[in-house]
Structure 1
Amino acid sequence: MFNNKQDKIQMAQDITSSSNTIGKGTTINGDLETFGNIRIDGKVIGNIKTKSKLVLGNTSHIEGNVLSQNAEIEGEVKGVVEITELLILKPSAVVHGDIITNKLIVESGATFNGECKMGVSNKTIKIGEETANGQSNPKIEKAKAV
């Protein structure tokens, strides 16, 4: 399928440079996983996982856990937010749940209710991969609303 290492590298770059958008007025029930960037302006009831950047617009409403490399939050999240690099909470952001991140920027007006842990070691985000024993990775459990 792949002729050489360069083909594999090109395919990986294509996957991670993809962008996904969930528009205002859209509701999704279920978990989302992507290698590329994702912007959400609608409602997601389920967990979100991306190896790239997550942007939650000011009309977004998330009921579930978030795992991402980088994130900007303007909307509301009810669940654990785990970011491996940089998390930015915009003035309209509301987070009901714990935050785990390496770096955090909280702009004036943003609110969150929960614990915050910073300086976490680099965690590997696995998308659709299996563990060594052939079992799929356990899903992030859905957080209860606070």
Structure 2
Amino acid sequence: MGIINRGRPDGSQHPGTTVIAAGSKLVGDLALSDNLHVDGRIEGSVRSEAEIAIGQGGHVEGDLAAEHIVISGSFAGNIDARRLEIVAGGRVEGDVTVAELVIESGALFNGNSRIRESRAAQPAEGKGPAEKGPRSTRDEKDRGEDAAGPAKAVGKVG
């Protein structure tokens, strides 16, 4: 079986982890309250209330939304998260909207980034706290630019 759910046998409030195993392919949209680890392939939108991790051999094409996203494999699409980490060997192509962006040496990011004040990723169906607006710096205001505008990053880090 390609999808494994490691539940909460002790009844704790800590999220379990759903795994898309290497060699498995999921086509369609996925909504989870638990963590997701992808070693296989997903084509579609994924929304998690916890963490999404794309392993070294994993590939996701579509949109991701989660509190925390870690990419060691490859991703193409749009990301909405509080924290995004692209680790060495990871590849992201697309637009990201995050409060925290970490790109390790040896990672690749090709797309636009929009950094906003720290908050959780937009909850499903628009439920939850209102979004805070983006920050602007004095230099950006002096140049007539808006910090909410996209910053383009292309190339390999490191």
Which TM-score band applies after superposition, normalised by the shorter structure? Answer: 0.7 to 0.9
User: Is the counterpart of residue 18 in structure 1 residue 16 in structure 2?
Assistant: yes
Percent identical? 26
User: Please, what TM-score do these two structures have when normalized by structure 2?
Assistant: 0.67
For 2:112 and 2:126, the matched residues in 1 are separated by: 30
Question: Gaps (5+ residues) in structure 2?
Answer: 1-10, 128-158
Any residues of structure 2 matched to 1:76-115 within 5 Å, and which? 76-83=74-81, 85-115=82-112
Cα RMSD, aligned residues only: 1.9
- Corresponding residue for 1:33? 31
The 8 Å contact of residues 65 and 122 in structure 2, kept in 1 or not, is answered as no
Contact residue 60 and residue 76 of structure 1 kept, 8 A? yes
CA offset digits 1:41-75 (Å, max 9, x no partner): 00001011101011100111111011110011011
TM-score (norm 1): 0.73
Separation in structure 1 between the aligned mates of residue 109 and residue 126 of structure 2, nearest angstrom: 34
| Structure 1: unaligned runs, 5 residues or longer | 1-10, 132-146
Structure 2 CA distance, aligned partners of 1:92 and 1:125?
29
Asked whether the equivalents of residues 100 and 120 of structure 1 are also in contact (C-alpha less than 8 Å), the reply is no
**With CA pairs under 8 Å and 6+ residues apart, which has the higher RCO, 1 or 2?**
1
Change (3 A) 1:124 1:116: closer
Provide the aligned length of Structure 1 versus Structure 2: 116
4+ runs deviating over 4 angstroms: none
Higher strand share: 2
